[in-house]
């Protein structure tokens, strides 16, 4: 069992697809929030991305196209309290 | 709607080593997500790997800063993938490649997964200072 099983994040990401510009494409339907009808991230919002292995990372949404959300990661900041910093969690 | 697949003008050099970040990213359920995204983007079944330039992991981490964030990697020999029927396409910007699958099936996932060793400790991992 992963030690990251309790790490909460908004959007799942495939780390291998993160570009040199630190932008990664994520899908809402692939994420823990997939069934949350109120989860409606918009460009400019801060979110957390995770993959159940490493600590989640904060990032800013640069673009959204329906189910697809592009996030630019901020590698200098680990999301220490993902729930409080992300959209959809107040 | 899928986009145009644009390839770099390069072929996989002999001895090319490729990695996937993380220890679990070749598991069926996670690989399926990646393969679905690839299919949506380009209309082909495949997933991302990163070339280790001349076997230098620190150079890879300079090209892709996210690499230094990962403790573990899965490693494969590109020529073995190709020889077993999994072409590598030079997609996006270097060092990114796409491993092509015939279909998004558990059988294909199992076959391609067998070529990846590890997880190994990432030589370029830089622990965060808290």
For residue B44, name the pLDDT band (cuts at 50, 70, 90). very high
Chain B neighbors of A34, CB-CB under 8 A: none
Q: What is the pLDDT of residues A34-90, one digit of tens each?
A: 999 999 999 999 999 999 899 999 999 999 999 999 999 998 755 554 444 455 443
What residues of chain A, 11 to 70, have a C-beta less than 8 Å from chain B? 12, 14-20, 22, 25, 27, 30, 51-54, 57
Q: Are B66 and A57 in contact (CB under 8 A)?
A: no
> The pTM is what?
0.89
In angstroms, the CA B43 to CA B37 distance is 9
Cis, bond preceding A19 (omega within 30 deg of 0) = no
Q: Give the β-pairing of A11-12 and A46-50.
A: parallel
In angstroms, the CA A33 to CA B102 distance is 31
Tell me how close the Cα of A3 comes to any Cα of chain B, in angstroms.
13
Query: What H or E segment, with its residue span, contains residue B83?
Result: helix B78-83
* Cβ contact, residue pair A27, B25, below 8 Å: no
Q: What is the pLDDT of residue B12?
A: 85
In angstroms, the CA B33 to CA B30 distance is 5
Among the partner-chain residues B20, B36, B64, the one whose CB lies closest to the CB of A20 is: B64
Task: State the alpha helices, DSSP H only, in chain A.
Answer: 82-85
Q: What is the pLDDT of residue A90?
A: 33
Q: What is the pLDDT of residues B63-112, one digit of tens each?
A: 999 999 999 999 999 999 999 999 999 999 999 999 999 999 999 999 99
Burial class of residue B86 in the structure, from the number of CB atoms within 10 Å of its CB (0-12 exposed, 13-18 middle, 19+ buried):
buried
Q: What is the pLDDT of residue B130?
A: 54
Predicted-complex ipTM score: 0.94
Q: How far is CA A90 from CA A38, A82, A87, B24, B91, in A?
A: 11, 11, 7, 31, 39
Q: How much is the average pLDDT of B106-126?
A: 97
For residue A7, name the pLDDT band (cuts at 50, 70, 90). confident
> Looking at chain B, which residue has its C-alpha nearest residue A14?
B34
Q: How far is CA B44 from the centre of its chain?
A: 15
Q: Give the β-pairing of B17-21 and B72-77.
A: antiparallel
Angle subtended by helix axes B28-42 and B106-113, to nearest 10: 110
Tell me how close the Cα of A37 comes to any Cα of chain B, in angstroms.
21
Q: What is the pLDDT of residues B13-38, one digit of tens each?
A: 889 999 999 999 999 999 999 999 99
Q: What is the pLDDT of residue B14?
A: 85
Within an 8 Å CB–CB cutoff, is residue B23 touching chain A? yes
B4: DSSP letter: P
In angstroms, the CA A6 to CA A37 distance is 22
* Cβ contact, residue pair A16, B50, below 8 Å: yes
Mutate to test the interface with B, among A14, A22, A31 (most CBs of B within 10 A): A14
Chain A neighbors of B49, CB-CB under 8 A: 16
In angstroms, the CA B124 to CA B42 distance is 31
Closest CA to B69 of B17, B33, B34, B22: B22
């Amino acid at each position: 069992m992963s030690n990251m099983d309790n790490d909460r994040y908004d959007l799942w990401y495939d780390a291998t697809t993160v570009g040199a510009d630190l932008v990664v494409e994520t899908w809402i339907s692939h994420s823990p929030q997939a069934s949350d009808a109120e989860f409606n991230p918009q460009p400019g919002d801060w979110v957390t991305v995770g993959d159940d292995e490493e600590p989640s990372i904060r990032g800013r949404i640069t673009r959204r196209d329906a189910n697809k959300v592009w996030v630019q990661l901020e590698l200098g900041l680990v999301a220490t309290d993902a729930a409080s910093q992300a959209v959809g969690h107040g | 709607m899928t986009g145009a697949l644009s390839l770099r003008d390069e072929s996989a050099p002999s001895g090319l080593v490729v990695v996937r970040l993380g220890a679990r990213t070749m598991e069926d359920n996670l690989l399926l997500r990646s393969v679905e995204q690839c299919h949506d983007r380009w209309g082909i079944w495949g997933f991302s790997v990163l070339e280790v330039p001349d076997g230098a992991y620190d150079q890879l981490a300079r090209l892709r800063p996210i690499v230094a964030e990962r403790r573990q990697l899965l490693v494969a020999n590109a020529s073995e993938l190709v020889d077993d029927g999994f072409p590598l396409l030079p997609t996006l910007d270097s060092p990114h490649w796409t491993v092509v699958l015939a279909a998004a099936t558990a059988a294909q996932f199992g076959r391609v997964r067998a070529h990846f060793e590890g997880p190994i400790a990432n030589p370029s991992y830089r622990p965060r200072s808290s």
